[in-house]
Amino acid sequence: MKDTYKAPRGEASITGPNDILDDPQLAAMLHIEPRTLRLWRQTRALPFIRLTPKVIRYRRSDIDRWLAGRTVAISA
């Protein structure tokens, strides 16, 4: 089963590990507010790409690895 970001009308959907995401797309994917992404960037807690001082993007594969590193195993 492939998880796919459901893009708002008129936007491309996010489907592959090489996709580049912007703040609204990543915030929607993680179910968080865009301001949380800004905080995580400021504290260097989140991998990101700075194209210009005001243009920030995220590589889906980097985010997937970042999330995998924060997975907490539950012991029975």
Q: Is residue 4 over pLDDT 60?
A: no
Phi, psi of 51 (to 5 degrees): -80, -40
- Residue span of the structural domain in which 26 resides: 20-68
Please write the tens of the pLDDT for every residue from 37-59.
999 999 999 999 999 999 999 99
Q: Are 36 and 27 in contact (CB under 8 A)?
A: yes
| d(C-alpha 4, C-alpha 2), whole Å | 6
* Nearest residue to 48 (alpha-carbon basis) of 36, 31, 62: 62
Asked if residue 4 is part of any domain, the answer here is: no
Asked if residue 54 is part of any domain, the answer here is: yes
Number of structural domains in the chain:
1
pTM of this structure: 0.73
How many CB atoms are closer than 10 A to CB 63? Answer: 19
Asked if residue 46 is part of any domain, the answer here is: yes
